[in-house]
Amino acid sequence: MKKYIRIMLTAASDQIFRIKSLLARLFLLIIMLFVFNLFWNIIGSEKIDSNISAVNFIWYLLLGAVLQFGRPEGLHRQIEGEVRSGDIAYRMMRPVSFIGYKCCESLGTFCVRLPILLFVGAALITFLTDGALPDQIQALPIIIVLLFGSMFLLSLGTVFVGLSALYLQDSLPLFWLVQKGEYILGGLFFPLTFYPDELFRFALATPFGSAGYNVTSLIYRYTPEQAITATLSLGFWISIMLGIDYLLFFILKRKVSVNGG
C-alpha cells in the first residue's frame, strides 16, 4: 500500500510542472459554466425537471466538469505506446501492479486538480447566482469522496483503451467511443432525467451513468439511500473493469513471455 501512496504523491507533485495544462482546463471550465448558465436562463422556464433549478443545474454541471477536467491527459496514448514499443515488459518486472500504477497516477493528479477546479468553479457560480446554493449542498463532502471512486472507474476504462492496442491497430477510435459515452451516457452536459425513459434506463445500466450522473446528481437529490446506491454501483463496475483489465494484461503478459520479452 505504501508503494501506491508514493506513486500518488509523485503524480501529485508532478502537477507543479503542468501549470499550463491546469490553466487551460480552468479556462475551459469557466467558459463552460458561463455558457450553460446563459443556456439555462433561456430554457429553465420550461421546467424539464422540477427537481432541477438553475442553481442545481449549474452545480451539477460543475461536478461533472471537475471529474472530466481533473483527470490526466494522454493516459491511453502512454499505455498504447508502452504496449507497441515493448516497454511494458519492463513494467512487469516492477514490484507493483501495472494497472494499479496507472490508476494511482490518475488519482494523484486528481487530488491536486479537484480542489482547484472546484474552488474556482464554485466561486464563479456563487457570483453568477448571487450566492444561491444547491438544494443538497450538505452532501458535497460525500460527493467529493465518491468522485474519487468515479475517477478510479474512469481510469480503469482508460487503461482498457490503452491495453486494447494489443488487438487494435489504433486505439484512438475506441478512446473516442468511450469518451463520448462518458459525455452522453454519463450525463456530463445534462442530467439523465432530461433523456427519454428508454435512454435514461440504458444510461443508468452502464458504467458511465454510475461514474457520472449517479454521483454528481446527489448535489440536488441526495438521500442516504441514493448515496448507498451510487456507492454500490461504483463498486460493481470497478470490480467488472478490474477483471477485464487484468484479463487483458494477463493475455499481454503471456504474449510477451512467448515472444521472449
Q: How far is CA 242 from the centre of its chain?
A: 16
Per-residue pLDDT of the chain (261 residues; tens, 9 = 90+): 778 888 888 888 887 778 888 888 999 999 999 888 887 777 654 555 556 788 888 999 999 999 999 988 888 888 888 777 766 766 666 677 888 888 998 999 999 999 999 999 999 999 988 888 888 899 999 999 999 999 999 999 999 998 888 787 778 888 899 999 999 999 888 888 888 889 999 999 999 999 999 999 999 989 999 999 999 999 999 999 999 999 988 888 777 654 544
Residue with cell 446563459: 38
What is residue 140's predicted lDDT score, i.e. its pLDDT?
94
- Quick: pLDDT tens for 166-175: 787 778 888 8
What is residue 27's predicted lDDT score, i.e. its pLDDT?
92
What is residue 149's predicted lDDT score, i.e. its pLDDT?
95
What is residue 153's predicted lDDT score, i.e. its pLDDT?
95
Residue 198 makes CB contacts below 8 A (sequence gap 6+) with none
Residue 174 makes CB contacts below 8 A (sequence gap 6+) with 161, 164, 168
Question: CB-side exposure of 40: number of CA atoms within 13 Å?
Answer: 22
What is residue 47's predicted lDDT score, i.e. its pLDDT?
53
What is residue 189's predicted lDDT score, i.e. its pLDDT?
85
What is residue 128's predicted lDDT score, i.e. its pLDDT?
87
pTM for the whole structure? 0.90
What is residue 124's predicted lDDT score, i.e. its pLDDT?
92
Q: How many residues does the chain have?
A: 261
What is residue 89's predicted lDDT score, i.e. its pLDDT?
67
Residue 24 makes CB contacts below 8 A (sequence gap 6+) with none
HEC readout, the chain: CHHHHHHHHHHHHHHHHHHHHHHHHHHHHHHHHHHHHHHHHHHHHHCCCCCCCHHHHHHHHHHHHHHHHCCCCCHHHHHHHHHHHCCHHHHHCCCCCHHHHHHHHHHHHHHHHHHHHHHHHHHHHHHHCCCCCCCCHHHHHHHHHHHHHHHHHHHHHHHHHHHHHHCCCCCHHHHHHHHHHHHHCCCCCCCHHHCCHHHHHHHHCCHHHHHCHHHHCHHHHCCHHHHHHHHHHHHHHHHHHHHHHHHHHHHHHHHHHHCCC
Widest Cα–Cα separation across the chain: 65
What is residue 61's predicted lDDT score, i.e. its pLDDT?
92
What is residue 45's predicted lDDT score, i.e. its pLDDT?
47
Round to whole Å and give the CA distance between 155 and 159: 6
